[in-house]
Structure 1
Amino acid sequence: MRKIWLLGLTLVSFGMPLLFKLHSSVSVVPTVAPSPAKTIRYEQRTLPQSIVHILSIPTDRRFLVTPVLSPKVATVEEFAQKYQAKAILNAGFFDPVNQKSTSYVVISGRVVADPKDNERLVNNPNLKPYLSKIFNRTEFRRYLCGETITYDIALHSDLSLPGCKLVDAVGGGPSLLPELTLEKEAFVDKNNGRDAIGSNQPSSRSAVGIIDDGSIVLVMVAQKPNVRLAKSGMTLPELADFMKTIGAKKAMNLDGGSSSSFYYNGKTVYGKLNIVRKPIKRQVKSVLLIQENSVNK
């Protein structure tokens, strides 16, 4: 019987462009495991305008990366308490007013969140010209291909991988790699100056990427307290460049700004700072969980 390989990432050192080398410091806190090649690894990089939290999930049958949707919005700490996850990153977009998702979420093959069911989104006259693109944004997918778990990043309308069954998916967007698709996914409209997520302004950001070997990397960019808020964080083009430097071949943006939040090893980090430089603890609708695969417990 073939072994089941779950995708992950052994952290590899890549050449960093000058933008990310200046004044940067690195601290690595691995989990306890017999081999670095089989270890979830956490890295924090202090850059001139941000602090970046990176979680690398190795290609190992012990771990799963799966989306979870909450009936009501909750902090990543509350998700952690409920699901006993090893790590959590905020995921899809949502409307904080009605607490409904504006991103697709699929769990165990069933659609549990459909943006077309969000009346505030569908009935917003300012968004009507963009709805077809909003309903076809990028999503992070988990497949079962025979006995093998495979992850992918694709547009919502893209067909499933041949011979594979779609198990889970969570929408976000735009795609960061192999190309930045801000206009294609209706986050930006240069004709009227639309920039729905402030893509060209530094801010806190969240992203997920896939390495060549199929392993996964989660990234949360936090604003830096000693940097002027308007200059603190990353733009979307900078985030795309950063994902490339850590080896991602495919990558997608997740909900950012005040939603950017990350949990690992009992500690929660919130990415957005308020005017007095204190973290904003925002509740979110969906997250990505890193859990041990029950088959291997």
Structure 2
Amino acid sequence: MRSTVQPSLAVGLAVALGLSSCAPVPDGADAALEDAVPAQPAMPPVYETVRLPSAIAHVMTIPDPVRYPVQVAVVNDLARVDQIVSQVCEGEGCAAAAINAGFFDPNNGLTTSYVMQDGALVADPNQNDRLIGNPDLTSYMDRILNRSEFRRYDCGGTPSYDITFHQEPVPAGCALVDAVGAGPQLLPQDTSVEEGFIDRTVARDALGSQSPNARSAVGLKADGSVVLVMVAEVPGVSPSGMTMAEVAGLMGDRGVTQALNLDGGSSSTLMYDGTTHYGRLNSAGDLVQRPVKSILWVANPDWGVE
């Protein structure tokens, strides 16, 4: 299922007035429609904090991902989310929000997820020998290299978003602009087994899905909204955070129909309006600021670079 933007108000009004696309349009009708349909105001991202006894969920809803597109950024060397955002601001325009995204190997700084940026493959897990050459992962490699990803398409000039497996073809009439792999999918169902995260025959649970933890996720609603979620641990509470099922429930309660788990734990970070929220606490109860490989960032059209 692909989440797309809503039809224009002008189209809807034309139908309501009986102006079929097959019927001749009276002279001046276009102007009348333009006068009758005011320009739709921008709907900026909406930030919400959900405080629970053992978790703090930072929820960012982007109701207008056309005006506020959700894009991908990746760095060659690991960097904190706010540092990557600073680079984005220098090169392309500032960000209204950002969240950590794909998996990576902290030992060598190389990706374990596919990442596409502006139509080009900029991070390839096949180039990570510690992943590809790991004998413990050989039986799972086909599934690892087909894990789910968040995608942004250009469909005839209209942005469209999807969450799907890496090898899923691009819809006809669309071009793949950005993509970042992670996984598993949380909604409409959990795909941990299909993606090699869970193997019940050997009690394998690579992400500790059933244990509370700091977590990050991205979701899509039926109305086209994009939702970013970062779950943080609570100081002085142990265990703290959420299981993956709990994250899925939180997102489902907010109308999300498709959801993708992103890198979590110490990587979990969400930045909004100049404030950075971190997910993981160390043994002393201090927030952990861990460098990451890639982010999803929300462009703010009102914050251009002079």
Whether the TM-score (by the shorter chain) exceeds 0.5 is yes
- Which range is displaced more, 52-61 or 96-105? 52-61
Maintained 8 Å contact 1:44/1:52: yes
1:245 to 253, 277, 290: 253
Unpaired runs of at least 5, structure 2:
8-38, 90-94
Query: For the residues of structure 2 that align with 1:162 and 1:175, how far apart are their CA atoms?
Result: 23
Counterpart AA for 2:155: C
Partner of 1:100: 110
Structure 2: distance between partners of 1:60 and 1:156: 22
Q: 2:101 maps to what in 1?
A: 91
The SS at the match of 2:242 is coil
In 1: Cα distance, 2:156 partner to 2:54 partner: 44
Q: Determine the structure 1 residue equivalent to 2:31.
A: none
The equivalences for 1:97-136 within 5 A come to 97-136=107-146
Shift of 1:276: 1.3
Partner of 1:23: none
Q: Which amino acid aligns with 2:74?
A: L
Where does 1:9-158 land on structure 2 (aligned, <5 Å)?
38-59=43-64, 61-84=66-89, 85-158=95-168
Which whole-Å CA distance do the structure 1 matches of 2:42 and 2:54 have between them? Answer: 31
Q: Which structure 2 residues correspond to residues 198-277 of structure 1 after superposition, within 5 A?
A: 198-228=208-238, 231-277=239-285
Following superposition, the deviation at residue 59 of structure 1 comes to 1.9
Task: In structure 2, give the amino acid aligned to 1:240.
Answer: A
CA distance in 2, matches of 1:197, 1:233: 13
CA distance in 1: counterparts of 2:204 and 2:216, whole angstroms: 21
Q: Which runs of 5+ in 1 are unaligned?
A: 8-33
* TM-aligned CA deviation for residue 5 of structure 1: 5.5
Return the match for 1:196 from 183, 200, 206. 206
Q: Distance in 2 between matches of 1:280 and 1:55?
A: 21
TM-score (norm 1): 0.85
What is the deviation of 1:241? Answer: 1.3
1:108 Cα deviation (Å)?
1.4
User: Contact 1:61/1:293 (CA < 8 Å) preserved in 2?
Assistant: no
Structure 1 residue 292: Cα displacement: 2.9
Deviation for aligned residue 1:274: 0.6
User: 1:237 deviation in Å?
Assistant: 1.2
CA distance in structure 1 between the partners assigned to 2:183 and 2:162 by the alignment: 14
Of Structure 1 and Structure 2, which has the larger fraction of its residues in strand?
Answer: 1
Q: Secondary structure at the match of 1:86?
A: strand
**Alpha-carbon distance in structure 2 between the residues aligned to 1:61 and 1:6:** 10
CA distance in structure 2 between the partners assigned to 1:255 and 1:6 by the alignment: 30
Report the alpha carbon displacement of residue 159 of structure 1 after superposing the two structures with TM.
Answer: 1.1
Aligned equivalents of 1:199, 1:238: Cα separation in 2: 10
Is the 1:89–1:263 contact (alpha carbons within 8 Å) kept by the matching residues of 2?
yes
Query: Given residue 128 of structure 1, which amino acid in structure 2 is its aligned partner?
Result: T
Distance verdict in 2 for CA 1:276–1:36, change over 3 Å = farther
Alignment identity in percent?
A: 46
- Equivalent AA in structure 2 for residue 56 of structure 1: T
AA matched with 2:241: G
1:213, distance to aligned residue in structure 2 (A): 1.2
Larger radius of gyration: 2
1:173 counterpart (165, 172, 183):
183
> Offset of 1:116 from its aligned partner?
1.1
**RMSD of aligned alpha carbons:** 2.2
